[in-house]
């Protein structure tokens, strides 16, 4: 493989070995090596879900299902499709548990690396770069389900042991891929949320030093604090580093109002979208480093009128990124129908089997991504009122008291209470049934969100 493909940072640009500008535009492969509840339909967190399914099926048959799912979720047909959209970048979210286990820390799991190798090779064969993104770190780097955190405490920032394991893991990753030209770089910590604002900066410096002792060539991608929106923990920019923001529009959430219009009491239009983008990238522009949006993108409701507004949000954001010469990675590639470019067929084996459970999750609002936060109002509103009355000074992190109450009650308590019910849907299935359910996520079995794909293709090729 030609070394000319290696990327590096040159001022505000990313360039290849011949000095040509490369604007990284593509998609995040959410739900693959870091499963998320709204993407594949289970409740709570990946590890708790796997444990529940393992109890229902037994260890060997659960492994059959999950191994088949991981193989089916991304293969040659998916890589061809992304190349056909004009993408030159895929962000690969990885749960650390694929690379080491909690009962044997610091011992590398080869099978996890083999899965990453396979996708990197498929993408490289089509001229697509990959960004390896550690999406779930030991102890949890943020308070939410997508770091596979079963609590609302981000223990990574409290425990040196978790930090040491993360350093060792990144040393192993960097050593493995130091010679891979089509690995664009390493996204060291997805969406960190350090409540102290004191640990993240020094820990990033420690991670960077460890990685560069092994691999001095690849770009480092650093997310800001508070879920990649606040870069105040950084001072002088580091060489060959991209500071990656996440740029979700509030009107694009499930609870979003009209666009243009009001959401959560604030007016949202194209001007406000650009103001938010400028605020989130102030550090990058001040330090003359590349602009790259690691995640963004609205969720879709199934209502044609509302979804037309979501497409307008996306169109406006893409135009803003183009005007600022910012690269991007939209979230996410494949799911069960909320946000993905492609999604499992509602009439396929998986969704036919799990539809009652998925509908129950929606009724109770137990998935943070996809919930309006207003479901089950007869139960939750009195609780919100009680919290506001009795604990008016609660310093709820990372957002506010209402959202933290939802985090703890809806997305942890209710979600974890649903785990056994989800697992029960696996009982009685034959091995062939399990394979068919996993293959529901294969590209040939999925449907395309055509309007979304056309819009992204238009901007990827500009």
**Which has the closest alpha carbon to 210: 180, 181, 186, 236?**
186
The catalytic residue among 36, 100, 191, 375 is 191
Taken in order 68, 70, 71, 77, the sign of the CA dihedral is positive
Alpha helix ranges (H) inside 58-131: 59-73, 76-84, 110-124
Alpha carbon 28 to chain centroid, angstroms? 7
Q: Exactly one of 295, 378, 381, 461 is catalytic; which is it?
A: 295
DSSP letter for 48, please: H
Give the distance between the most distant pair of CA atoms in the chain. Answer: 64
SS3 label, residue 256: coil
Nearest to 371 by CA among 382, 360, 379, 381: 360
Q: Where are the beta strands (DSSP E) in 114-272?
A: 129-136, 183-187, 219-223, 241-246, 261-263, 266-268
Give the residue among 244, 178, 231 at the shortest CA–CA distance from 200: 231
Cα distance from N-terminal residue to C-terminal residue, the chain: 27
Any catalytic annotation for residue 191?
yes
Q: What is the gyration radius of the CA atoms in the chain, in angstroms? A: 21
Q: Report how far residue 245's alpha carbon sits from residue 227's, in angstroms, rounded to the nearest whole number.
A: 8
Cα dihedral 228→229→230→234 (10° resolution): 40
Residue 375 among the catalytic residues? no
Two tokens, residue 345? 């067929």
Structure tokens at 78: 């998916």
Which residues are the active-site residues?
191, 295
């Amino acid at each position: 493989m030609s070394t000319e493909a290696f990327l590096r940072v040159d001022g505000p640009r990313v360039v290849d070995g011949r000095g040509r500008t490369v604007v990284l535009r593509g998609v995040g492969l959410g739900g693959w090596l870091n499963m998320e509840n709204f993407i594949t339909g289970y409740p709570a967190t990946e590890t708790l879900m796997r444990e529940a399914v393992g109890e229902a099926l037994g260890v060997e048959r659960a492994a059959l299902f999950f191994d088949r799912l991981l193989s089916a979720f991304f293969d040659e047909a998916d890589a061809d499709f992304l190349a056909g959209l004009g993408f030159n970048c895929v962000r690969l979210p990885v749960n650390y548990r694929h690379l080491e286990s909690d009962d044997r820390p610091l011992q590398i799991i080869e099978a996890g690396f083999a899965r990453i190798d396979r996708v990197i090779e498929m993408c490289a064969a089509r001229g697509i770069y990959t960004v390896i993104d550690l999406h779930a770190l030991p102890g949890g780097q943020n308070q939410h389900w997508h770091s596979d955190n079963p609590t609302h405490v981000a223990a990574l920032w409290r425990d040196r042991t978790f930090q040491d394991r993360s350093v060792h893991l990144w040393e192993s990753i960097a050593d493995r891929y130091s010679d891979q030209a089509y690995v664009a770089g390493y996204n060291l910590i997805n969406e960190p949320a350090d409540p102290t604002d004191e640990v993240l900066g020094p820990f990033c410096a420690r991670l960077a030093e460890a990685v560069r002792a092994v691999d001095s060539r690849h770009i480092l991608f650093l997310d800001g604090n508070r879920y990649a929106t606040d870069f105040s923990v950084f001072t002088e920019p580091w060489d060959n580093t991209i500071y990656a923001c996440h740029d979700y529009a509030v009107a694009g959430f499930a609870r979003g109002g009209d666009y243009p219009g009001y959401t959560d009491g604030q007016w949202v239009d194209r001007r406000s979208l650009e103001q938010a983008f400028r605020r989130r990238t102030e550090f990058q522009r001040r330090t003359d480093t590349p602009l790259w949006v690691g995640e963004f993108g609205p969720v879709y409701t199934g209502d044609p009128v509302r979804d037309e507004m979501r497409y307008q949000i996306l169109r406006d954001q893409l135009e803003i990124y183009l005007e600022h010469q910012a690269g991007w990675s939209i979230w996410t590639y494949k799911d069960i129908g909320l946000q993905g470019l492609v999604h499992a067929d509602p009439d396929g084996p998986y969704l036919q089997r799990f539809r009652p459970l998925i509908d129950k999750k929606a009724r109770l609002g137990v998935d943070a991504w996809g919930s309006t936060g207003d479901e089950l109002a007869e139960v939750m509103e009195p609780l919100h009122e009680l919290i506001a009355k009795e604990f008016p000074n609660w310093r709820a992190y990372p957002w506010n008291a209402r959202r933290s109450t939802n985090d703890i009650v809806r997305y942890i308590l209710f979600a974890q209470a649903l785990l056994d019910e989800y697992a029960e849907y696996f009982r009685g299935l034959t091995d062939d049934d399990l394979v068919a359910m996993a293959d529901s996520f294969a590209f040939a079995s999925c449907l395309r969100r055509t309007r979304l794909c056309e819009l992204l293709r238009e901007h990827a090729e500009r």
